[in-house]
Amino acid sequence: MVRILSGPGGRPKEVVSEPLEIIDIPLPALQFGSTSPPGGGHTVVAVNPISSPDTETKLKLTECIRQNNGAYLGYVDNIVQLKADMDSILDKAKNKFKNLELEILKLKKENQDLKKIKKKDQDDSCETPGASFSSPEGSKKDKNKKDKKNSKNLHLEELELKNKEIQDLKQRFEASETRSKEDIAKLNTQKLNLERDLATLRADSETWSNEKWELTAANTDLQSRLQQMAMNMHIQGSPDQMLQEEIRNMKHSLNDERKVTEKLSRNLELEKRKVESLEQKAKASNNCNSSSSSGSRKSQKSSSTGIHLPDEMKVRDDKLAESMERYRIQCDNLGCSLRECEDKLLMSVEGPSVVTNELREEIGKLKKLLSEEKKRTSIDQHQINEMNGLFGSVLKEYQNALDYLRDLQNERKMKTQQQNVYEEIKESNHETRINELTALLLQSEEQLKGEQNKIQALKNKIKETEVDIEAVPILRAQVEVYQADFNAEREAREKIAGEKSDLEEELRKLKNSNRVNTAEALDEQRHIERFLATDARPGTAPALRNTINHLADNSFPR
């Protein structure tokens, strides 16, 4: 539960998380009004209670706050359990990976040593291929060597099988590691989302608690003012218009506060729905985690997510709920009796004052009973808080014991599985060795025959290659001659192509220059003809025409 400690001025000071919280349910506030008898005389104070919807809304608010606090605790517990599970899984995976790396290094070293021994044996067998057929002593040596080879080959094959098994285990471990990383990433995202939702909900709850404290303070101030006004009216014996106006204003403010409380109750219902949706998401995430893990881990996680409380704790919770219900029933009964007394007072305003005095005495007695009940409830609350603290400590110890038992069960299961695997491997190795030895003998004989045939084929190929090697220099000389002729032809072609391109460029330049010159001359000729046409002097025209023709003949030879 989230407990809000009040600071100075009725404002919230701190927010403390506790397992449970019981909030005081304030009794219905009383409004006081004055009524005067028709014949004048003394005034009689009539006590009008606030309507029952206020108490119902306050009860709903308290229940919603309790449910929200329970949801917060559930989320916190789920997050703590997820963290513990993730840490344990990562530690186990790291330890397994380290052990596998050490075993792989050992097997690699043994593999290298055996490969060196195998190379030495192969070199010895290649050096003495024909000596085994010379004498009986050589045949004995060959047999000994064959026996040694067979034993070494068997050892090598055993190591290869172990290497294959280790590689398979490594692949499985890598696959499981990748899956675990993906699951961890998903859990981290879900955890971040839950933490954000929790932060928003806590902020909303703090704001609502602040508003609640302000509303309660305003209610207490209004009640104290109403009581003072009623006492002043009773002492003065005559009503005052100003006081009546103040009472009306107080009533309006009380109605406004009721509306605010209704809005708060609606907001709390909406937040309750949000909390339920978050609980469903958390359950779905837990189900996904349990489906991705193995069978043994499924049972463990299902037991961890659903914490089974002992019977004594359940009985205590039931007793607490019953006591709270009894307290609520008593408060409702007292409220009903107060209303009946007030109705009697209203009916007996016009009657004798003796009845009013008796009713006042009854009201005083009822108020005393209410104060006694409040004291009892405060004592009960203190005891309940102590029980809640003990209950939380017992729960923590119980959870720690469950975690320790789960770890022990996991270790035992892992040990039994490892022993079974080793026994199965030993039995399979003993059975397969005999079959492998017989198969290896047959294979070695066939391999020897095949190697002898290969040696003869290689000798024949060597003779053929020697004949081909003799013809290689003649072919090289011919190739060099052909290559020189080809290079000379290529160079001549490149020169001819370059000269041709240069000549083409020169022709293009000349053509362009001729075109430009002709265009300029034509422009000048046209300009001069225009000038001659416009000029009125008769002696200038023929001279200019002669000069133009002379220039045209010189610039454009025919």
Tell me: the pLDDT tens digits for 148-168? 667 767 767 777 777 777 777
Does residue 296 register a pLDDT over 70?
Answer: no
Q: What is the pLDDT of residues 164-176, one digit of tens each?
A: 777 777 777 777 7
Q: Domains in the chain: how many in total? A: 2
pLDDT of residue 230: 63
Contact by Cβ (8 Å): 301, 85: yes
Residue 437 maps to a domain: no
pLDDT of residue 281: 65
pLDDT of residue 467: 77
The pLDDT mean for the chain works out to 67
Those residues whose C-beta lies under 8 Å from the C-beta of residue 233, and which sit 6 or more positions away, are: 34, 43, 45, 239, 240, 243
Helix (H) or strand (E) segment spanning residue 383: helix 353-470
Domain boundary among 396, 429, 462: 429
Q: pLDDT confidence of 465, banded at 50, 70, 90?
A: confident
Domain boundary among 368, 400, 429: 429
- What is the DSSP secondary structure assignment for residue 13, as one 8-state letter? E
Residue 449 maps to a domain: no
pLDDT of residue 23: 36
pLDDT of residue 165: 75
Q: Are residues 404 and 496 in the same domain?
A: no
The more confidently predicted of residues 235 and 416 is 416
Q: pLDDT confidence of 115, banded at 50, 70, 90?
A: confident
The more confidently predicted of residues 121 and 541 is 121
Q: What is the pLDDT of residues 274-284, one digit of tens each?
A: 666 666 766 66
Neighbours of 514 (CB within 10 A): 11
pLDDT of residue 339: 61
Q: Are residues 397 and 485 in the same domain?
A: no
Residue 451 maps to a domain: no
> Which has the minimum average pLDDT: 249-263, 422-436, 439-453, 492-506?
249-263
Residue 441 maps to a domain: no
Residue 539 maps to a domain: yes
pLDDT of residue 18: 40
Percent of the chain at pLDDT > 90 equals: 0
Question: Which range, 202-211, 321-330, 392-401, 522-531, is most confident?
Answer: 522-531
Does residue 512 register a pLDDT over 60?
Answer: yes
* Average confidence (pLDDT) over 365-394: 71
Domain boundary among 364, 397, 429: 429
Q: Are residues 417 and 527 in the same domain?
A: no
Q: Are residues 411 and 488 in the same domain?
A: no
* Average confidence (pLDDT) over 297-303: 41
pLDDT of residue 322: 67
The more confidently predicted of residues 344 and 213 is 213
Q: Are residues 170 and 40 in the same domain?
A: yes
Give residue 533's domain range: 474-555
Residue 439 maps to a domain: no
Does residue 448 register a pLDDT over 60?
Answer: yes
* Average confidence (pLDDT) over 203-228: 72
Q: Are residues 550 and 403 in the same domain?
A: no
Residue 14 maps to a domain: yes
Contact by Cβ (8 Å): 246, 229: yes
pLDDT of residue 40: 43
Q: What is the pLDDT of residues 401-441, one digit of tens each?
A: 778 878 888 888 888 888 788 777 777 776 777 677 777 77
Those residues whose C-beta lies under 8 Å from the C-beta of residue 96, and which sit 6 or more positions away, are: 173
Q: pLDDT confidence of 552, banded at 50, 70, 90?
A: low
Backbone phi and psi for residue 48, each to the nearest 5 degrees, phi listed first: -110, 115
Q: Are residues 39 and 106 in the same domain?
A: yes
Residue 442 maps to a domain: no
pLDDT of residue 132: 44
Does residue 476 register a pLDDT over 70?
Answer: yes
- What is the DSSP secondary structure assignment for residue 538, as one 8-state letter? T
* Average confidence (pLDDT) over 284-310: 46
- What is the DSSP secondary structure assignment for residue 38, as one 8-state letter? T
Q: Are residues 220 and 306 in the same domain?
A: yes
Q: Are residues 147 and 201 in the same domain?
A: yes
- What is the DSSP secondary structure assignment for residue 284, as one 8-state letter? H
Q: Are residues 363 and 493 in the same domain?
A: no
Q: Cα(285)–Cα(70) distance, rounded to whole angstroms?
A: 19
Q: Are residues 385 and 506 in the same domain?
A: no
Neighbours of 33 (CB within 10 A): 16
Tokens of 554: 């010189």
Q: Are residues 515 and 420 in the same domain?
A: no
* Average confidence (pLDDT) over 110-115: 73
pLDDT of residue 492: 87
pLDDT of residue 490: 87
Percent of the chain at pLDDT > 70 equals: 47
